[in-house]
Each structure stands twice: as structure tokens, then as C-alpha cells.
Structure 1
Amino acid sequence: MKLLFIQPAQMFRDGRLIKFKQTISYPIGLVTLAGLTPPDVDIVIVNESVDEIDLDMDVDAVCITGYSSQITRGYQLADAFRQRGVTVVMGGIHVSLNPDEAEQHADAILIGEAEGLWPTMVADIRANRLKKRYKLAHFPEMSSPVLPRYDLVDRAKYIQPPSVKSNLIPIQTARGCPHHCDFCSVVQFLGRKFRMKPISHVLKEIEACGSDYLFFSDDNVIGNFDHAREFFKAITPLNVKWMGQFPSTIGRHPELIDMAAKSGCFLLFIGFETIVTESLHEVGKSFNQRQNYHEVIRRILDAGITPFGSFAFGFDHDDPEVFDRTLAFTEETHLPLVSWFILTPLPGTVLYRRLSEQGRIIDRNWHNYDLSRAVFRPAQMTPEELEERYWKAFGDFYSLPKIAKRVRSATTDTTIQTMYAMLSRSMIAHRINPLSGGVLAK
């Protein structure tokens, strides 16, 4: 049996596909799904942002997964394959939170995580007995070993920094989040219980991935402090370089920052979200303490790690001057890298329900839910003003003079910082969020 796994491309607002020669976005979901697939099944993985899709490929079934910003294209592909009589199954976070919509485009959908379900679906595809929906009654534990099939991806199509000999490979060590931020769909998809993989298995994944340059893609690498300490101790002898996501509360635990640095951490992605305290309360993230942000950034820099700050704009308490105030904050704190987003009511979230009830959502074209387009009416700006000020301020942060100034004053290694900053300039010019970007195809 032969299966085609597809991660659809994102699209510009006018519907054109966003295509890259190389990208930073590795299809971790597809390689993990391939690892769950019986070994006698032939698998082809296509990441449409860098690969071409052959609609005439002879396959037994097509499996499509994607975020909300990719799902419009996913539905287009699903419809095209089904018109040819090819079986289509769909899954992932958007499908799981919008099953009634998704099943209009698929022969079967998988709701939730694939562990515990996917082998059954494969058997049903083989026996031509697919059910319309597959869903576990509980969140699966992370104790069963699954080795992602990294060998099925052409690594030449993924960006490799000039000083690093391998690609940045994502590895997930845990799932779930105990918080309930209004704008986040993680809790609805993965639950509030923090479920950890055995450290011994993560070490096997690191060995199998063939890279010493890693992204631990958990929503919170230190969701369990004791587990994090043991994990950092375990990977220290491996001499890997890694990045990951920590909460802004990490400043209260300097020993964990030091242990992370010793184990090879070179960059920490921190979800500050906003410098406006009222906005943190507005969306259920009051555990972020605005007054502690300076100290958090200083502690991370002192440990020799590059802090990468994430901020969103469009909260009800955001006025047009919030962009300039945030830029000033990044200069005051010497923040080397930022990722900026427009607040987006992802379908399935509390924020989506609230804005829908208020009649403020103005765009339900999912390909525009890319975290950089205004799809609702903000309280203190027009949608157009929100977008224009967002891109202007984003471009200001990554202007050449400011990049040069930060590099000259840097206290941490600037190789990755400079590469990402220059990549960001290119993406911002084309109005593509850098975190989902790459080297554009001509």
C-alpha cells in the first residue's frame, strides 16, 4: 500500500500559493505520523511550501494535515484528489476543532492526536472499511516510543545556518498546557495535563534525527520543573545546540536558565504577548508579569542565551501607539530578536467564540488566519490600521541600522541572530510572517 502525506502551503491574501526554495518550517507532524505507520506501507511526504504535488500520483490514500492558515489549500487538494476517486483522510488541529466542516472534504477525519488511532485507520484504509470519524476517548500517554521518519524528508530544502553542519530538527518532548489563554488552541487540542515522553526515548529521537541542532517544540519545555532538570542533565553530554519555548515566568527560576545554557540552549522563545498589563488580564494570561520582563531578559542574556520575544497586537486595550511603545521596550531591554503577531481568533478558541458573539469577526477565509492579517475589528483601530502599523513597526525592528546596532552590542553569539534578522527583512517585505518563512522561490 502507498500513502501520500501532505502539509499544504499557505496562501497570500489573493489566493496565490506561498512557495519557498528553502524553508525553516519542518513538517514534524508528517514525519511523526510516518513513524506511527506500519513499516510495510510505502510513504511519500510532501511539504507543499517547498515541494510540488503530483495530483496524478498513484496512491491508495492521501493524508492531509495543517493549521488553520493552511487548511483552505488543504481542502482544495482534498477535493481534487476525491474527484479522481482517491481516498482522502484529514487530521490536525484545525480539523480536530472543526470536524463538521472538515468532513465535507474527506472520506474520514482523525480528531485529536494520532497515537492510538492511526494504525487502526491504516488497517481500515487497507481493508476499504473506513469510518467517517476516528476519535480517542482520552488524551494518549506519551510512553509508547515513536521514532519520526526524518529520512523521508529532503533536508536540502530546509535552511541550514552557515556555521551549523545540520538542519534545525524539531523534537517534541511533551504535550499539553495547564493554562487557558483565550487566543490559544493548544488546550482544546492537547489538553491541560502536561504529558511527558520518557527521557530515554527523547534521547533515542535525538540520536535518530541525525542532527545536533535541535528545536524542542513543546509549548513549554519546563512545564514540569523536575522533569526539565533531569532532561537538561541527560542532554548535557550530547553536545547538542538547541532552542525551545519557555514561559516569561522563567525569571523566577534562574537555576533552570543556567542548566538550560549548560545543556546547549542557545535561544529561548518567550511569549511575552504584550507590554500592556490590562491586555494580559483580558486574554487570561495574567501569570505573565509585565514588571518582570526586564529581569527575565537580563537573566537569559547573562546566561549566554539569546532571548527571542513574542508579542501580539490587536487586544482591546491596544491603542495605535502600542507599537511605538513596544519598539521602545525592545530597545530598553536589548532584546535581540522578536516575533510579532496580529491577535487572531483561531477557530475553536475562547477568543473566536467571544468575537463571534460580539459580531466583530469580518473574515472567515481560513487562509487569512496566518497571525499576520486582521480578521476582526479591533477596539481602538480599524483592521487596516492594525495591519499597516503592525508591518511598519515589524519592519522598523528589523531595519538594517537596528540589526547592525544589536549585532555590535550583542553579548551572545550573533550567527543565528543575524541570519534570522536578514530572513525576517525579506519576509516582512512580502508580508509573510518570518516564523513560517524561508527563501522565496522565484
Structure 2
Amino acid sequence: MRKNILMITPENREINDFRKKQFNNFIQITMPYLAAFVDSSKYNISLVDEYNEDVPFYKKYDLAAITVNTSNASHCYEIAAKFRKNGAKVVFGGPHATLMPKEASKHCDYIIIGEAENTWPKFLEDFYEGRAKDTYVCDDIPSLNGIPIPRRDLIKGRYFTRGAVFATRGCPYHCSYCNLKQIYSDSFRMRPVDEVIKDINSINAKYFVFWDDNFFGDIEYAKRLMMELAKYNKKWAAQVTLERCQDKELLKLAKQAGCEYFFVGLESFSEDSLNSVNKGINNVKRYKSLIDLIHKNDISIQAGIIFGFDTDTKDIFKKTLDACNNLGIDGVTVSILTPLPKTPLYEQFQKEDRLITTDWKYYNGKTRVAFVPKNMTSQELFQGYMWFRKEFYSIKSIIKRLSVSRTNIIHNFIVNLGYKLSIKGTKFIE
């Protein structure tokens, strides 16, 4: 007899309200990917993404599987409690379950720690046979060879944003605020090019996004992949490191393969701020020449900006706005510095007694501040962050930036308006 399994991509209402007003929110690929490992002869599989669906607590399931990230941890614990009360078993996995297993395991029946390519299928087999263990730990470095194509057929809605693919895993750098090294093995791995292409061609859409942490982590691999991808009429985006964009051949191949924009973690226009979090790979003096080179190849830039570094003072918001306007940054994903658990930054702030709370709702980087900044109050940091978002997405700034960039103007104007709408209603929460 087949068992009923519900796989949940959680999103609490606070961050969901923030994200829904934007136009370019691609689906989280974790659960559709893990669903591809589930034996459909043994399980009836249902997927729920709280971005656009409600969790069906009224239905009966044998097992609820939840991927837990830090900002959603408390929300996930509430979901789990409801399912367990209704008689379902709950299994946790994901970043927060890996980083804080002792805490997370108090709220579930089973926990999967680390990467899941080997442990998830083993757990499913054991659960079906009634012999599941409390804890499954990834003790090796899973290969990305021969992994299955995500079950996109289980995704409801998200017609324009369901195309997420990953070609690599990991990042070669060690930024102190990033938790990749704590979640994954400290190695950079690549999928076979032909398997990535097969995955991409299974997407019933022209547009997709590479969900890689650093698509240019291995430049020669990226070139091989893009040369193959150029044979297909696809449009895509990827997260890359700006410094690696000095390779003109790399940029040319990206455009020929259909690249529309790069997400680039600039983080700051202050060398001191970058050095304070081990982000020295970014060279502020080279920003203009590299950004101009990317734009010359007709590729847009969505810049990652973070406020709240220890070297940031209250003038950082205006300086960053002026720099973005002058450089023609097409869009930004702006965040408040967030000391995620187990990272060097978290350990530093904990040692310095600067964590405001361990209520994980404060750790989303968008609507709350989780620590005490050095050169301003938490409220001043939030107000400066909100001022920057409002001014960056003002019509005046949009016109200024897009007139400098002159890249994908109509698309970027629409995306900018989406972010402009998301600003409304965001308030400081103490």
C-alpha cells in the first residue's frame, strides 16, 4: 500500500507579504528536486509551496517533509506541531536543521542533516518499511552525477518562475556572514554538462534561472556549459562573482548562450566593510570597469547590497545610492546583515554579546534587525535600509540608472516597479 507524503516549501506570512509584490521570484527548487527521489510506487506525493499555496492541514498524510531555513524555523515548528497532532510523522531537513539539529529535532520525528542525495532515499526506504531512525547524517560528499530531474509537474502555479536549475554546488570563497561552508561540504562540485542541458530542456518555458551559489565557480566548466547551451533558444540568469567577469570570452559566451542578467554580490562600496567580512575578492576600484564590461555585453546587473557591517556609518546609505546611480546598477537585492547560526559572524556577535535575540523570525535580512550595529542603533540601520530601498526604486533613480545602463530597459523597468511596490507596508519591528 502506498503512503501519502506531503513535501512543504515553507514561507511565513511576514516574508511572503514582502516577496509577493515583486515580479521575479523564482521557485525554490529543493522540494521539486527531492521529490524526484521518491518512489511513486510506494508513495503518493504532494508538493506545497507557501509562496502561493496554503498548507492543507485538513488532509491526512503519513509523512510531512519540511525544508527548514533559519528565518522560517519557528514557522516550521508550528507547521510540524499541527501535523503531528493530526497523527502524521514529520521529517526536517535543510539549512537550519543542519546547522541547529539539537534544536530542530525537538520539533520533528526525524531529521536529515547535511546534503540529502544519499540520506533522503535511505530514509524514505526505511520509513516505508517502518524502521526509520531518528537521525540521518551525510557523512560523505555526494556526487552530482546522474541525479534526477526535479518533479516540476508537481508544482502548482508559478508558470513564469518555475524554471530553476542548478549546475554546480558550493562556492570557492569564505565570506564570514555566509553559511554555505557549514551546510555543504567545503568543495565545489559540477554536474555533467549533458545532464544540465537535459534538465534545462525539460523546462516548459523559455526563461529559467541557475540556482547555483556561484555559477562562475569554475570558469572552464561554465564556458563548456554555455557553449552547449547556446544551441538552444533559452534566456536565463545566474549568480556570479564580479571579479570573474573580467574574462571577456566568458561574458561573450554568456550572452551568446542567452544570459539576460547576473546577480552579483557587490555587498558594499566600502573596502573596509568588505575586508571586515572576508570579502576581499571584491575590489571597489574595479567595480565601474567590470560593470561597464558586463553592460557592454548587453547583460543586466542585479546587485546584492548588505547594510550593517561594523564599518558602516549613517552616511553609508546615501553613498551607496549615489554609487548605484552613477554605475547604472539595473536592480538590487538589498538586505540587512544577518548573523546566521554557526557562521563566523554569528560567533563573533555572540561573543561580543551583540545578538538582540535568538528568535529566528528576526533573521530574514529583510524586515528585522537581529543584532546591535556598531555605529548606529538597530532602528537607525533599518530606517537607513528602508530609505535606500525607497530612493533606489524612486522613478528618478530608476530613470537615472537605466539611462546609464541602457540594457534590457523594458524588462528592468518592470522589475524595478515590482521592487518599488514591495516597499509599502514594511515597518521596523523591535
Q: Secondary structure at the match of 2:46?
A: strand
Residue 210 of structure 2 corresponds to which residue in structure 1? 216
C-alpha deviation, 1:72, in angstroms: 1.3
Work out whether 1:359 is the aligned partner of 2:353.
Answer: yes
Identity %: 31
Superposed structure 1 runs of 4+ greater than 3 Å apart: 16-23, 404-410
C-alpha deviation, 1:139, in angstroms: 1.8
Residue 389 of structure 1 corresponds to which residue in structure 2? 384
C-alpha deviation, 1:404, in angstroms: 3.3
Map 1:260-279 → 2, pairs under 5 A: 260-279=254-273
C-alpha deviation, 1:215, in angstroms: 0.3
Query: Given residue 97 of structure 2, which amino acid in structure 1 is its aligned partner?
Result: V
Residue among 405, 409, 426 paired with 1:414: 409
Normalised TM-score (structure 1): 0.92
C-alpha deviation, 1:50, in angstroms: 1.1
Residue among 329, 334, 350 paired with 2:328: 334
Residue 31 of structure 2 corresponds to which residue in structure 1? 30
Check 1:56–1:136 CA distance in 2 against 1; reply closer, same or farther (3 A cut). Answer: same
Residue 280 of structure 2 corresponds to which residue in structure 1? 286
Work out whether 1:428 is the aligned partner of 2:426.
Answer: no
Query: Given residue 26 of structure 1, which amino acid in structure 2 is its aligned partner?
Result: I
Q: Secondary structure at the match of 1:311?
A: strand
- Note the alpha carbon deviations across 1:16-75, whole angstroms, 9 max, x for none: 977959872413101001011113221111111210112121211000113211221111
Counterparts of 2:346 and 2:174 in 1: how far apart (Å)? 14
C-alpha deviation, 1:350, in angstroms: 1.0
Counterparts of 1:184 and 1:332 in 2: how far apart (Å)? 28
Contact kept? 2:304, 2:332, Cα under 8 Å: yes
- Note the alpha carbon deviations across 1:94-153, whole angstroms, 9 max, x for none: 111110010001100011111011111111211222211101211201112211000001
Counterparts of 1:18 and 1:408 in 2: how far apart (Å)? 28
Q: Which moved more, 1:180-189 or 1:251-260?
A: 251-260
Contact kept? 1:11, 1:367, Cα under 8 Å: no
Check 1:240–1:102 CA distance in 2 against 1; reply closer, same or farther (3 A cut). Answer: same
Normalised TM-score (structure 2): 0.94
Residue 313 of structure 1 corresponds to which residue in structure 2? 307
Residue 251 of structure 2 corresponds to which residue in structure 1? 257
> How large is the Cα RMSD of the aligned pairs?
1.8
Residue among 87, 95, 98 paired with 1:96: 98
Counterparts of 1:115 and 1:109 in 2: how far apart (Å)? 14
Residue 145 of structure 2 corresponds to which residue in structure 1? 143
Counterparts of 1:204 and 1:66 in 2: how far apart (Å)? 29
Check 1:96–1:385 CA distance in 2 against 1; reply closer, same or farther (3 A cut). Answer: same
Work out whether 1:378 is the aligned partner of 2:373.
Answer: yes
Counterparts of 1:66 and 1:425 in 2: how far apart (Å)? 29
Contact kept? 1:270, 1:308, Cα under 8 Å: yes
* Number of residues of Structure 1 aligned to a counterpart in Structure 2: 422
Residue 402 of structure 1 corresponds to which residue in structure 2? 397
Contact kept? 1:177, 1:190, Cα under 8 Å: no
Residue 68 of structure 1 corresponds to which residue in structure 2? 70
Q: Secondary structure at the match of 1:417?
A: helix
Query: Given residue 414 of structure 2, which amino acid in structure 1 is its aligned partner?
Result: M
C-alpha deviation, 1:402, in angstroms: 2.1
C-alpha deviation, 1:314, in angstroms: 0.4
Unaligned residue ranges in structure 2 (runs of 5+): none
Counterparts of 1:150 and 1:142 in 2: how far apart (Å)? 19
Q: Secondary structure at the match of 2:106?
A: coil
Q: Secondary structure at the match of 1:192?
A: coil
Residue 107 of structure 1 corresponds to which residue in structure 2? 109
Check 1:296–1:19 CA distance in 2 against 1; reply closer, same or farther (3 A cut). Answer: closer
Counterparts of 1:282 and 1:389 in 2: how far apart (Å)? 20
Residue 2 of structure 1 corresponds to which residue in structure 2? 4
Unaligned residue ranges in structure 1 (runs of 5+): 161-166, 433-442
